[in-house]
Amino acid sequence: MAEVDQAPWTDLRAAAIEVAKRAYAPYSGFPVGAAALVDDGRVVVGCNVENAGYGVTLCAECGLVSSLVAGGAGRLTHFVCVNGDDDVIMPCGRCRQLLWEHGGAALLVWTPAGVLPMDQVLPQAFGPEALER
């Protein structure tokens, strides 16, 4: 897993750790930070934002994708998310779908098992091509 210790991973993990400190997680006490590299060189970040109505809580990946789109879009190329203990964690299923939409099969995801392409993180994914008639 030496690849994980090299740029851009080190910088992305640091960005995810920093943004996790800004998470709004008063109910679960489980802050999450996410960071990704965009194909134009930008780094986008997001943190989870909880809500008293639990179902409307926003995952860190939601904030990251919103930042990506608000900043002019592009394609995600590298992604990592961490918890409040700075551990690399796995995106939930809903967020894997969001990441697929904006990074596709080739998006590299740092997981607890190492760096994997998105098509291994979300095999047989449903994407825009499934909607073609």
Active site residues: 61
DSSP-assigned beta bridge partners for residue 35:
45, 80
Task: Decide: 88 and 66 in contact? Cβ < 8 Å.
Answer: no
DSSP-assigned beta bridge partners for residue 37:
43, 78
- Torsion-angle region of 86 (φ positive above 0: left; ψ -120 to 50: alpha; else: beta): left
- Distance, in Å, from the CA atom of 30 to the CA atom of 50, rounded to the nearest integer, reads 10
